Structure 1
Amino acid sequence: MFTGSMVALVTPLDEAGNVDYKSLQNLVEYHVNAGTSAIISMGTTGESATLSVEEHVEVVLKTIAFAAGRIKIIAGTGANATHEAIEFNQRFANTGIDGCLTVTPYYNRPTQEGLYQHFKAIAESADVPQILYNVPARTGVDLLPETVARLAKLPNVIGIKDATGDLARVNKTRELCGENFIQLSGDDLTGLDFVALGGHGVISVTANIAAADMAEMFKLALDGQIEEARLIDRRLSALHKNLFIESSPTPVKWAAKQLGLIENAQLRLPLVDLSDAAEPVVRQALVDAGLL
């Protein structure tokens, strides 16, 4: 259902800090034309942590409308309070959404049983396909493969975005959850290796600014042409690394503005503009990738 290069889409803001829906529409067109497999709206890269609930919902609904069925749309619905994640899940049911991406609860550090009960309650709250999202570096909690296996038995839980960078989990998760359980990398640096080991695709930050390259790379990889895919991956490797030189999405928004994909690189506090020291590093990565 979800394979290939999927983008963790930035949320463009205007100079006043309001959502720039014209730029958002342009981004959707960019990804449709580039061959991106799916758009993840209001994930971590979309600054979901600093937009209000109503802004969050409106951005997702506008993205669905702009896409007009031409590309799959996945809504970020994670929260550290289960009732809030359930609210998001229910609000996006029957909107034309293709799935929801739900991050592990952050800050409160639940046990594995707590994680199971959290995701179970969400999955049972509305008939929407659920993709689990494990990113311990940001949330402080690790969703272990054994817990994923328990959750995979629930009808609505169809896959996981794994941002641990631990490639050993690809085989482990497949053994526990079966071939049909969708495994998506959340780490651009290891994404191609993840697919080479049997993963189904990537949810990418790099794809925000190199959409066609990422789409082609993962098409090649899924067709078994790994060495051809590696040629693209090597060219993009500096981007994979340096788009995280400062807190994401700061570098990728700056890069998107340089390429004319968005009008402003505006962020919401506590994120601030890309530093003067980091700018030439990101610019060089764009040059190395053939984008500038």
Structure 2
Amino acid sequence: MRTPVFTGNCVAIATPFDANGNINYDAFGRLIDNQIEGGVDAICVCGTTGESATMTIREHIAVVEYCVKRVNHRVKVIAGAGSNDTSAAVYLSLHAQDSGADALLHVTPYYNKCSQAGLVKHYEYIADRTELPIILYNVPSRTGVSFTAESYQILAQNPKINGVKEASGNFSLLAHTRHLCGDDFYVWSGNDDQVVPMMSLGAKGVISVASNIIPGVMREMTHLCLDNDFQAASKLQIEYMDLIDALFCDVNPIPVKEALNLMGMEAGPVRLPLCELSEKNHERLRAAMAAKGLL
């Protein structure tokens, strides 16, 4: 039986940039250390929140290598390696493997809008060419394609495919997946506002945007669920809904990088075509953070 890559809270870590748009490794190192001190169980680098879509291949590889070295085995490192080009996904996977990452996160191929058969072939091709466990990433609002439970069932037979970061918001899909795939195809929430209900259906934790600013809260929420104290976990989920909603008042990671900047974490700007928050959303975010004592 497979063991999950992690249980609990994994931060989908932001990538700080300087005023010139270059990667700010000093700030990145401090952010990594802050997350580990906050109790995260794992770090996911070069995912959506890390702005991998606007990184060059060279930058992507360098950021993964830096993260692995900075973490230095204190927690698990999951390297984003997804692409709409299967060969590019393999290339990024092999570099992540060589860097010492513990696992891979592979988003569904975007723009191509492949069939379910194409999805299965894509992931089997990657799994055949890397030794690391793979976490699938289902986020149809961004990619235009979603897994079916039946495709999960096929991929669950591959020992290198550990499970899925499920960000479709589709609880029927989650229930059918759990029914068809058994207990050793693992699911993690990809939505901070759905952690507790997903874990009540068997998810093992969350890959979290909110953890960038509240790592301790997200750890507590997930570990309460793992301890079957869903009543206490639900109270936390509800208590932090205003803040979580504010972190998604614009396209991720625009609000969370602004939140990090407000906290003095020097996350810097987002890269085009993303742009800064509107004044209205800035004030909404600031108010939500102030209400939780984060400013």
| Farther off after superposition, 185-194 or 233-242 | 233-242
Residue 279 of structure 2 corresponds to 276
State the shift of 1:173 in Å.
Answer: 1.3
Instruction: State the distance in 1 between where 2:289 and 2:252 align.
Output: 16
State the shift of 1:264 in Å.
Answer: 4.1
| CA deviation vs aligned residue, 1:224-270 (integer Å, no higher than 9, x gap) | 1111112222221112212111111000000011112x214311111
Q: How many residue pairs were aligned?
A: 291
Contact 1:98–1:128 at 8 Å: present in 2 too? yes
Contact 1:238–1:288 at 8 Å: present in 2 too? no
Instruction: State the distance in 2 between where 1:98 and 1:285 align.
Output: 35
Contact 2:148–2:173 at 8 Å: present in 1 too? no
Aligned counterpart in structure 1 of residue 175 of structure 2, from 155, 171, 175: 171
Q: Which runs of 5+ in 2 are unaligned?
A: none
Instruction: State the distance in 2 between where 1:59 and 1:130 align.
Output: 19
Residue type of the alignment partner of 1:224: N
Aligned counterpart in structure 2 of residue 8 of structure 1, from 9, 12, 36: 12
| CA deviation vs aligned residue, 1:104-162 (integer Å, no higher than 9, x gap) | 00011000001110111011111110000000000000111110110111121010000
Residue 41 of structure 1 corresponds to 45
State the shift of 1:21 in Å.
Answer: 0.5
Aligned counterpart in structure 2 of residue 252 of structure 1, from 239, 253, 256: 256
| Farther off after superposition, 210-219 or 166-175 | 166-175
Instruction: State the distance in 1 between where 2:240 and 2:290 align.
Output: 10
Matches within 5 A, 1:77-116: 77-116=81-120
Contact 1:257–1:264 at 8 Å: present in 2 too? yes
Instruction: State the distance in 2 between where 1:230 and 1:150 align.
Output: 33
Provide the secondary structure at the position in 1 that maps to 2:224.
helix
| Farther off after superposition, 234-243 or 206-215 | 234-243
Aligned counterpart in structure 2 of residue 162 of structure 1, from 154, 161, 166: 166
For the pair 1:229 / 2:229, whether they are aligned, the reply is no
Aligned counterpart in structure 1 of residue 266 of structure 2, from 263, 267, 272: 263
For the pair 1:63 / 2:70, whether they are aligned, the reply is no
Residue type of the alignment partner of 1:37: D
Instruction: State the distance in 2 between where 1:127 and 1:225 align.
Output: 36
Instruction: State the distance in 2 between where 1:93 and 1:6 align.
Output: 19
Give the 4+ runs in structure 1 shifted more than 6 A: none
Residue type of the alignment partner of 2:283: P
State the shift of 1:169 in Å.
Answer: 2.7
Instruction: State the distance in 1 between where 2:290 and 2:229 align.
Output: 26
Residue type of the alignment partner of 2:276: D
Instruction: State the distance in 2 between where 1:174 and 1:5 align.
Output: 20
| CA deviation vs aligned residue, 1:42-70 (integer Å, no higher than 9, x gap) | 00110000010010111011000000100
Contact 2:138–2:165 at 8 Å: present in 1 too? yes
Q: TM-score, normalised by structure 1?
A: 0.97
Residue 76 of structure 1 corresponds to 80
State the shift of 1:11 in Å.
Answer: 0.3
Q: What fraction of aligned residue pairs are identical, expressed as a percent?
A: 40
Q: Which runs of 5+ in 1 are unaligned?
A: none
Provide the secondary structure at the position in 1 that maps to 2:122.
helix
Q: TM-score, normalised by structure 2?
A: 0.96
State the shift of 1:217 in Å.
Answer: 1.1
